[in-house]
Amino acid sequence: MVFLLVGYMWLFIHRPFEIWDFLGTIRIERLYMVSITIFWLLFHKKSTVLNYSTLALFFWYLCIICSDLLTPAGASWDRATEECSKYYLFTFLVITSIRTEKELKILLTSFCVIFFIYMLHSYWEFRHGRYIYRMGIIRMVGVDVTMNDPNTFGASVIYALPMLIPLWELKVKNILLWLGTKLFILASLGLSVLCIILTGSRSAFVALIFGSVLLVCISKHRIRLFLFFVLLAPLIWAVTPLSLKHRYLTLIDPSMGPASAQESAEGRWEGMIKGIEIWKKAPVIGVGPGKSRKFMPGKVQTHSFIGQVLSELGVIGMAVYLLIIFSVFMNYLKTRKYTKMYQLIRPPGDNYFHKVSIAVAFSVMELLLLGIGGHNAYRYTWIWYTAFHGIAVMILVNKVFDCADRENLKEEKIA
């Protein structure tokens, strides 16, 4: 089942049906999901994850459906609701199918590989003339259609980057495979930084700096990491095209770029204010997923996580997202606790699950940071990562108790 889930993950992230038209005409994504759902119903052994994550995900989807049905804007199956339904169905299959450490590692490693291929394909197309000209500069876009906007693509790269943290922790016995894994991580990191810079996305650029500083602060090797970034940053800046340098310098000096860049930044603040005004129309359940644009001047987005959630999902929606954040926090504490217990039983213990927890916490912080100036409430990252986190906690707790039982059994035999 895990390889079937990996197959859908590739379809969803790389979106080949948006690149090659003949795949789009046969609805390959929908057919594939129907197929694996039938397989799951008929053949796969099912169970569930008893965790804060499962509860948070259930309430999230319930909120999406209720808001869509009860909206004062008129009930309709909006595209946002359809996308959220796809996220939840895939996540439901994941949390009822992934049960072993090996399966989780296959799933998360595959995610990193799939995203690397997606970035590489996007960069290849950029080098061959696929880009957009906006804000006075050439900007890289994703190779797909749904998430190909420079800011959206840059944010996608930012959210995927933390998943390299548990991959680095992966225990590989074969020396060649170990070396290949480390080289892949470094290549993926380098390609991610390159893609972020070429998008010209100021928000993604700030998030990259924020993530680097945060990584230095929490790492045991913070001095070495700090020196590495100090040496690397001037090199990256030196090879950055002049037009992009001016773009990023507008963060501290708006006069370095066109007036449209400053207007864009101001428009994001106005979007949040407008979102709060829309929220007053339906404070409890909101106006419905994806429907805030109907009430915005010029039919634009709110460009704000808070404005988007409040206006479209109301107070209940905000409470649900706080529940997701709470589940991530509690699961982080739980993995930290049980990792220490496991290392006492089996020193040196595996640190993989704790690194998964750190990666998810990283991504949530990046989501909240970019949410200041971006409407990212319906990102698949919120749902997928929350599920990965819950599964990691469940497997870790089971490992600790299994090891403890085996140790007790050994002591009883010796006695």
pLDDT tens sequence across 142-188: 998 888 889 999 999 999 999 999 998 888 778 888 888 899 999 99
Share of the chain above pLDDT 70, in %: 89
User: What six digits make up the tokens of 364?
Assistant: 């949530």
Q: Give me the residues paired with residue 137 across strands.
A: 134
Mean pLDDT, range 45-51, rounded to an integer? 75
Q: Which stretches within 142-293 are classed as H helix?
A: 150-160, 164-168, 175-199, 202-218, 222-239, 242-249, 259-279
Q: Are 120 and 188 spatial neighbours (Cβ–Cβ below 8 Å)?
A: no
How far apart (Å, rounded) are the C-alpha atoms in residues 49 and 95? 6
348 prior amide bond cis, ω within 30 = yes
Percent of the chain whose pLDDT exceeds 90: 34
In 56-200, the DSSP E strands lie at: 131-134, 137-140
Q: What is the per-residue pLDDT for 356?
A: 92
127 pLDDT higher than 80: yes
Query: Residue 3 class from Cβ within 10 Å (0-12 exposed, 13-18 middle, 19+ buried)?
Result: exposed
Q: What pLDDT does 217 receive?
A: 82
* Residues 233, 267 contacting (CB under 8 angstroms): no
CA-closest candidate to residue 132, choices 145, 121, 119: 145
How confident is the model over 182-195, as a mean pLDDT? 93
Query: Band of the pLDDT at 285, cuts 50, 70, 90?
Result: confident
**Looking at residue 267, what is its pLDDT?**
59
Residue 254, CA distances (Å) to 155, 249, 258, 266, 381 in order: 22, 8, 8, 11, 31
User: What confidence score (pLDDT) does residue 380 get?
Assistant: 92
Q: Cβ distance 382 to 88 under 8 Å?
A: no
Distance of alpha carbon 279 from alpha carbon 33, whole angstroms? 35
Rounded Cα–Cα distance for residues 241 and 280 (Å): 45
How far apart are alpha carbons 117 and 108 in whole angstroms? 15
Do 305 and 377 touch, CB atoms closer than 8 A?
yes
197 pLDDT more than 50: yes
Query: What is the Cβ-side half-sphere exposure of residue 274, based on CA atoms within 13 angstroms?
Result: 20
pLDDT tops 70 at residue 110: yes
Q: What is the pLDDT of residues 291-332, one digit of tens each?
A: 877 777 666 677 788 888 888 888 999 999 999 999 999 999
pLDDT category at 41 given cuts 50, 70, 90 is: confident
> If DSSP codes are grouped into helix, strand and coil, which group holds residue 132?
strand
Reported confidence tier of residue 259, pLDDT bands at 50, 70, 90: low
Instruction: Give the pLDDT score at 414.
Output: 46
Q: What is the pLDDT of residues 226-251, one digit of tens each?
A: 888 888 888 888 888 888 877 888 77
Cβ partners under 8 Å of residue 291, min gap 6: 71, 73, 78, 80, 312
Q: Is pLDDT of 333 > 80?
A: yes
Here the tokens at position 116 are 């690397």
pLDDT band (50, 70, 90) for residue 415: very low
What rounded mean pLDDT belongs to the chain? Answer: 84
Residue 411 pLDDT grade (very low, low, confident, very high; cuts 50, 70, 90): very low
Quick: pLDDT tens for 362-380.
999 999 999 887 788 899 9
Domain boundaries, the chain: 2-414
pLDDT at 401 (0 to 100): 77
**Per-residue pLDDT, 367:** 93
